[in-house]
Amino acid sequence: MLTKRIIPCLDIKDGRTVKGTNFIELRDAGNPVELAMRYCEEGADELVFLDITATTEKRKTLAKLVRKIATHINIPFTVGGGISTVEDVSVLLENGADKISINTSAVKNPQLINELAKNFGSQCVVVAIDAKIIDNDWKVVTHGGRNATTLLTIDWAKEATERGAGELLLTSMENDGTKVGFALEITKEITNSVTVPVIASGGAGSMEHFADIFQQANADAALAASIFHFKEIAIPDLKQYLRNQNIAVRL
């Protein structure tokens, strides 16, 4: 039985870790290198680093900061933000990233998924999907949640995996930063529709929320930020709780 993964997320702006609600009202959450080291020591299974304004500011992800973090951790490390070419990915992998995450650039140019999977292998390509309820349907939004599209989330999830995505990172814009729990229904719909691992993101506020997303929606991993950054939930305690709920985790 595959173990479920717990993944802290470092949202980076101006070289600092930040956290907001529904992608806005950002507040400082600390030094990304120090946080990464702490999560590694606490038993996080992986780490995700998202340069959240790279796309809207039309610049590349901070390769130097990626290298700095990578030299201090020994767990899989996914990096996203401003990636739009094969060269961008090469730079990040050379600086210590294990996987890369693409979002807006994949929606604008779906062929990019095929190119990256062909050049680096599907296991390296994570397609991040930001989903929002628009006209009573879960639709894809881009540019850090600022731009709506007509793409249905479920259709895009299927297309991304068919094009070679090795993993999906699904963030509910409705739940992000609210601490009311993950978006169970859309997550379950996607886990039932694709054959690759699905990371659920957006809304974690309690240990029960993690149990729900694993047991009710069959997510392969759960990602959270503020509850870990501000020590509201400790990863070792969370993993022990999940183990007690008969959920397979790596202790």
Q: Give whole-number Cα distances, 193 to 51, 165, 190, 196, in Å.
A: 29, 14, 5, 9
128 neighbors 169 (Cβ within 8 angstroms): yes
Instruction: State the CB neighbour count (10 A cutoff) for residue 79.
Output: 30
**The dihedral formed by the CA atoms of 16, 223, 133 and 25, expressed in degrees to the nearest 10:** -20
| 130 has catalytic annotation | yes
Q: At what angle do helices 86-94 and 63-70 cross, to 10 degrees?
A: 40
Q: Which of 11, 45, 51, 220 is catalytic?
A: 11
For residue 118 the two structure tokens come to 């062909």
| 11 has catalytic annotation | yes
Contacts of 157 (CB under 8 A, 6+ apart): 129, 168, 170, 190, 193, 194
Cα–Cα distance for residue pair 174/34, rounded to 1 Å: 29
Q: At what angle do helices 184-191 and 207-215 cross, to 10 degrees?
A: 30
Q: Which of 88, 130, 176, 220 is catalytic?
A: 130
Catalytically annotated residues? 11, 130
